[in-house]
Structure 1
Amino acid sequence: MDQFTKVLNQIDSFVWGAPLLILLVGTGVYLTVRLGLLQVFKLPLALIYLFSKEEGEAKAEGDVSSFAALCTALAATIGTGNIVGVATAIKVGGPGALFWMWIAAFFGMATKYAEGLLAVKYRVVDGNGQMSGGPMYYIEKGLGLKWLAKLFAFFGIGVAFFGIGTFAQINSITQATKVAFHVPIVVSATIVTILVALVTLNGIKRISKVAEIIVPFMAIFYILSSIVILLLNAKLLPGAIELVIKSAFTPVAAAGGFLGSTVKQALQNGVARGVFSNESGLGSAPIAAAAAKTKSCVRQGLISMTGTFIDTIVVCTMTGLVLIVTQSWQLDLEGAAITNYAFAAGLPTANLGKFIVTIGLIFFAFTTIIGWNYYGERCTEYLFGIKAIKIYRYIFIALVAIGAYIKLDLVWIIADIVNALMAIPNLIGLLGLRKVVLSETRAYFKNI
C-alpha cells in the first residue's frame, strides 16, 4: 500500500505540475482580459440576478430555477474543500496557500462564467425530457470533437465515483462524527448512505430542493460563526492577512508541527485546493447550470460566476483566517482535526466550536455527495444513454458506503488526480469556444 501511495503521489505531482496550473489560471486570465474584468464590474448585476426571477422564467426551458441550479452547483462545491481542503493546503503550503486560492478564484470567476454560458447555449433535452448540458455537449456541438467530449464524460464519472463525489466526502463525515460525537464509523456511514439513496434516486428536482434548503442555511451559519471568531481575535487579524501575503512569496520556516514550506508548495497547494473547492475550470458546475430555467445563456453565466465568489472568496477565506489567527495550522494535526481545533480555540466554549465545524462538515459534505451524483449521472447518460442511469446510481451509492474505510491521505491524492484529468478536456473546450463566449456577452450587454 505504501508503494501504491508513493506511485499515486508521483502521478499527482505530474498532473498538477506547471502545465496544468498555467492552463487553469491562464484560461481565467485570458477570459478576464477579453471580457473586460467582467467578474469585477458585473458582479453586482450577477448578485441581483441571483436573488431575482427572470421575466418569463416559468415558461423558459429547463428543469429547475436558476437559483436552484446554483444551489445544486454550490452543494457540490461547498464541501470538505472549504473545511478540510483549506486546512490541508495551509498545513502543507503555509498561510501563503490562501493567497493563491484567492488568485485562482478571482480568475476562476471568469472561467465559471464562460462555463455557465456555454452550458445553456449548447444544452439538449434527453430521452426522459430533462435538460442535459455541460462540457461534453459544448465540446461536441461547439467544437465537433466528440472523442474529447467522451473523454471528459469518462473522467467526470471518475471524479463522481472516486474523487470529490464519494470518498473525500464520506471519509470526512465519518471521521468528524467519530471525533466529535464518538459515533462509530459503520453507523455514520450507514446513515449517510441511506440518506444519499433517498435523495439521489429521485433525480435533479429532489436534489435541487434539498440543496436549496441546506446550502444557504449552512453557508450563512458557518460564515457567521467564523466572523465571530475573527471579531474575538480582531487584534490578530491584520497580522494574519500580512502573513498570508508575505508567505505567498517567501518560504515559511518550520514551527511546531508545521514542517516548513516553499513558495512552490504554497502556489501548488493553493491552486489545487482552490480548484478542488470551487471547481472553476473543472467543468462540473455547468452540468447543473444547464438544468436552469432561463432564456439567456449570459444571465446564467453571471449567476454561475457567483458560485466561485461565495465558495472561495467568502467561505474558504473565513476558514483560512480562522486557522491562522488561532495558529492551529502549526499543530501536528491533519484534515478536519485542524479546523476543529481552530474553532474550539477561537470560541469561548470549546464544545461549541467543535459542534459548528462538525455539523458544517456533515451538511456541506452531504450536499456535495448529492450534487456530484447528478454530475456523474449526466456524464453517464451522455456516454451510455438514459437506461444506464439507474445502474450508475446504485454503483454510486455503493461507493459512498465503502468510501468511509479508505485512508484520508489516499483519498485526497486520488481526488486530485481525477480532478486534473477532468479539467483538461474542459479547458480545451473553453479556449476553443472563446469567440462564442465573447460574442454572446457583447450581444447581451449591447441589448440590455
Structure 2
Amino acid sequence: MHSINDFLAGIEQYLGGSQWFTLLLLGTGLFFTLYLKFPQIRFFGHALKVVRGKYDKADEKGDTSHFQALTTALSGTVGTGNIAGVAFAIYLGGPAALFWMLMTAILGMTTKFVEVSLSHKYRETDEQGFISGGPMYYMKNKLKMPWLAAFFAAMTIVSSFGTGSLPQINSISSSLHSTFGIEKMLSGGVLAILLAIVILGGIKRIAKVTEKLVPTMAIIYFVGALAVIFYNYENIIPSFISIFTNVFSGTAAVGGFLGAGFSYALTKGVNRGLFSNEAGQGSAPIAHAAARTEEPVSEGMVAILEPFIDTIIICTLTGLVILSSGVWNEKLPNQFQTTDMSIMADVYDDTNKEDRNELYQFLGNQKKLPLFNGELKVKNGNIENQVSIINARSIAENVLIYNTDGDLYSGKVKIELGKFTSENGAYFKGNSLMHSAPLTAEAFTRSYLGEWGRWIVSIGLLLFAFSTAIAWAYYGGRSVTYLFGAKGVLPYRIIYCIGFFIASFADTTIIWTLSGITIVLMALPNLIGILMLHKDMKTTLNTYWDKFKKEHPEEV
C-alpha cells in the first residue's frame, strides 16, 4: 500500500497538486469571465427562469427537461466533495483552502456555462436514438481533432472511477462503519447491487431517480448543517474571518494543525473545489447534452447554477460546520490508516516551536527527518521505544496497538523506514487529526443533535455519494459509446459496479490521491479545447441573446 500510495502521490504532485494546473483552471475561468462580461452575474436571474421551464417548447429534441438535466449534473457534483472533500481541503490547507474552493466556484460558474453551451451545440444522436454530447463532440465536430476527442473520452472513463465510483463508495462505507458499525464490505456489496439496478436503466431512469434524490438530500444536509452552525454561534464570525485573513499568508500552526503555506492552501483548495463542482472537468456537459432544447446557450445558462449550489452554498455550509465546531485542529480518537502514518526515530513535541517547524517542513517535503527502521517493542498495547508517530499530519497521542481480536497487543512490530506494513494484523489507535468524512461526522456531533448528527452525515453522504456514482456511470457509458459503440456499455457498467464494490474497503488516502490524478487528466484537454473555441462561444452567446431580446422584449 505504501509503495502504491508513494507512486501515485509522486504523479499527483505534478498534476492536481501543481501550481501550473491551478493557474490554468483559474485562468480559464477568469479569462471567460472577463471576455464574456461576467455572465455568472448578468445571466443568473435568467438561468433561474430557464431551469423552471419558462421558455420550454414541447417539440424540442432531447431526452430530459432542463430541471432533470440540472439535477443529474448536480447529482454528479454534489457528493463526497461537499462532505469529505471540504474536510480534506481544510485538513490539508487550513481555513484558507475553503476560500480558494469558493474562488474556483465563482470562476467555475462561467467555465461551466461555456463548456456546456459548446458541448450542447455540437451534440449528436447515437445509434440507439439517444442524444450524445460532451466535450469530445465539439473536439471532433468543430475543432476537427478526433485524437483529442478520443483522449478526452478515454480519460472520462478513467475519471468515472477516480471521481465517480471509488471515492464515493469509500466515503459511504467509512461513514456507515464509524456511525453504525456496518462492515465496509457489506455496505459496498448492497450498494453495488442497487447501483447496477439504476444505471442499467439508462439516462431516463437515472434522471427520474436524481430529480427526487438531489432535492431531498440537499434539504436533509442543509438542516443538519444549520443545527451545528447555530449551536456554535459564537464561532460564526471568527470562522468567516479565518477563511479570509490567511488567504495570502497561509494558515499558521494552531492546535494539532502544523500549518500550511499559501501555495499549499491554494493548490489543495482549487483541487478540492474542482472535485466538488467539476467546472472545467468536462463531465456535466455530458448530462446537459440530453436536455430538450435547440438553444445550446439556454442549457449553458442552467449550468451556471451548478457551482453556485454545489460549492458556494453546500461547501460553504460544510466549511462553517467544520470551522465553527473547532474539530479541524483537534486531535480526536481514531484508528490510523497505514498510509496516513509515519513513525519517526526521534521524539517531537508540537508545543515546541522548533519541533513544529521541523515537522512542517518534513510534511511539505522540504526537509528530511530520521525515520524509525526496525522493530517496535510493544507491551500491553504501549510502545516502549522512544519514537513519535505522525498520523494525519499531526503528532499522535495516547497511541495503543491492538491485535486482530481487538485486544491490546504485546510483541514486536516491524517498521520499514517509518512505514508500518500491518503484516501481522496489528493496528494502531490513538488521538490525532482526522480528515474526510469522519472529520465532518465529528463536526456534526457538536450541535443540538449530539451523536445523532453522525446520522445526518451518514445519510447525507449515502444519498450524495450514491447519486454521484449514478451520474458518473452515465458519463463513463457515454464515453464508452463514443469510443467503442453501444456494445461496450454493458461490460463497462459491470466493471464499474465491481470497482465500486472493491473501493468500499480500499485505503482512503490512495483513493483520494488517485482521484486528484484522474481529474486533471480529464480537465486538461477540455480546458484547452474551450479556450480554442472562445470566439465561437462569444458568437453563439450574442446570437442567442439577440434572438431572445426579439422574442421576449419584456424580459430584457
Indicate yes or no: 2:244 matched with 1:143.
Answer: no
1:321-359, Cα deviation, whole Å (9 max, x unpaired): 1111111111211221110111101x2231221111110
- Judge conservation of contact 1:121–1:297 (CA < 8 Å) in 2: yes
Indicate yes or no: 2:429 matched with 1:337.
Answer: no
1:214-235, Cα deviation, whole Å (9 max, x unpaired): 0011112212322232233333
> CA separation in 2, counterparts of 1:435 and 1:14?
31
Q: Give 1:53 shift.
A: 4.2
Query: In the alignment, what sits opposite 2:468?
Result: 368
Indicate yes or no: 2:451 matched with 1:359.
Answer: no
1:194-222, Cα deviation, whole Å (9 max, x unpaired): 11011001100011111000001111221
- Judge conservation of contact 1:118–1:138 (CA < 8 Å) in 2: yes
> CA separation in 1, counterparts of 2:296 and 2:126?
19
The letter for the 1-side match of 2:51 is L
> CA separation in 1, counterparts of 2:261 and 2:44?
34
Query: In the alignment, what sits opposite 2:268?
Result: 269
The letter for the 2-side match of 1:297 is P
> CA separation in 2, counterparts of 1:55 and 1:108?
26
- Judge conservation of contact 1:116–1:300 (CA < 8 Å) in 2: yes
Query: In the alignment, what sits opposite 1:433?
Result: 533
Indicate yes or no: 2:480 matched with 1:380.
Answer: yes
Identity %: 42
Indicate yes or no: 2:119 matched with 1:129.
Answer: no
Indicate yes or no: 2:14 matched with 1:14.
Answer: yes
Q: Which stretches of structure 1, 4 residues or longer, exceed 3 Å deviation after superposition?
A: none
The letter for the 2-side match of 1:313 is I
- Judge conservation of contact 2:93–2:268 (CA < 8 Å) in 1: yes
> CA separation in 2, counterparts of 1:421 and 1:187?
32
| 1:165 alignment partner, SS class | helix
> CA separation in 2, counterparts of 1:407 and 1:8?
13
- Judge conservation of contact 1:381–1:388 (CA < 8 Å) in 2: yes
- Judge conservation of contact 1:66–1:292 (CA < 8 Å) in 2: yes
> CA separation in 2, counterparts of 1:97 and 1:153?
30
1:82-101 matched pairs, under 5 angstroms: 82-101=82-101
- Judge conservation of contact 1:160–1:375 (CA < 8 Å) in 2: yes
| 2:14 alignment partner, SS class | helix
- Judge conservation of contact 2:229–2:325 (CA < 8 Å) in 1: no
1:150-170, Cα deviation, whole Å (9 max, x unpaired): 000010000112x01211011
1:56-104, Cα deviation, whole Å (9 max, x unpaired): 1x31111111111111111110000000000000001000001001111
- Judge conservation of contact 1:257–1:333 (CA < 8 Å) in 2: no
1:271-290 matched pairs, under 5 angstroms: 271-290=270-289
Query: In the alignment, what sits opposite 2:50?
Result: 49
- Judge conservation of contact 2:77–2:310 (CA < 8 Å) in 1: yes
> CA separation in 1, counterparts of 2:237 and 2:498?
47
| 2:56 alignment partner, SS class | coil
- Judge conservation of contact 2:104–2:270 (CA < 8 Å) in 1: yes
Query: In the alignment, what sits opposite 1:326?
Result: 325
Query: In the alignment, what sits opposite 2:197?
Result: 198
Query: In the alignment, what sits opposite 1:260?
Result: 259
Q: Which has the higher contact order (CA 8 A, sep 6+)?
A: 1
- Judge conservation of contact 2:56–2:293 (CA < 8 Å) in 1: no
> CA separation in 2, counterparts of 1:45 and 1:366?
31
Query: In the alignment, what sits opposite 1:119?
Result: 119
Q: Give 1:255 shift.
A: 2.5
> CA separation in 2, counterparts of 1:99 and 1:343?
21
Q: Give 1:377 shift.
A: 0.3
- Structure with greater strand percent: 2
- Judge conservation of contact 2:236–2:324 (CA < 8 Å) in 1: yes
Q: TM-score, normalised by structure 2?
A: 0.79
> CA separation in 2, counterparts of 1:321 and 1:249?
20
Query: In the alignment, what sits opposite 1:177?
Result: 176
1:108-137, Cα deviation, whole Å (9 max, x unpaired): 110000111012100000001000000100
Query: In the alignment, what sits opposite 2:41?
Result: 40
The letter for the 1-side match of 2:150 is K
Q: Report which stretch shifted further, 219-228 or 34-43.
A: 219-228
Structure 1 gaps, min length 5: none
Query: In the alignment, what sits opposite 1:294?
Result: 293
Query: In the alignment, what sits opposite 1:31?
Result: 32
- Structure with greater helix percent: 1
| 1:426 alignment partner, SS class | helix
Indicate yes or no: 2:169 matched with 1:69.
Answer: no
> CA separation in 2, counterparts of 1:316 and 1:124?
34
- Judge conservation of contact 2:76–2:467 (CA < 8 Å) in 1: yes
Aligned length: 445
1:388-444, Cα deviation, whole Å (9 max, x unpaired): 111111111111111112100000000100110000110111111111111111111
> CA separation in 1, counterparts of 2:42 and 2:221?
28
> CA separation in 2, counterparts of 1:55 and 1:179?
46
> CA separation in 1, counterparts of 2:176 and 2:53?
37
1:283-338, Cα deviation, whole Å (9 max, x unpaired): 00000000101121111001011111100000000000111111111121122111
Structure 2 gaps, min length 5: 331-432, 549-556
The letter for the 1-side match of 2:191 is V
> CA separation in 1, counterparts of 2:303 and 2:480?
23
The letter for the 2-side match of 1:359 is I
> CA separation in 1, counterparts of 2:514 and 2:484?
24
> CA separation in 2, counterparts of 1:54 and 1:196?
34
Query: In the alignment, what sits opposite 2:222?
Result: 223
Q: Give 1:8 shift.
A: 1.2
- Judge conservation of contact 1:343–1:354 (CA < 8 Å) in 2: yes
1:221-271, Cα deviation, whole Å (9 max, x unpaired): 212322232233333211111110012112322223322111111101110
Query: In the alignment, what sits opposite 1:398?
Result: 498
| 1:55 alignment partner, SS class | coil
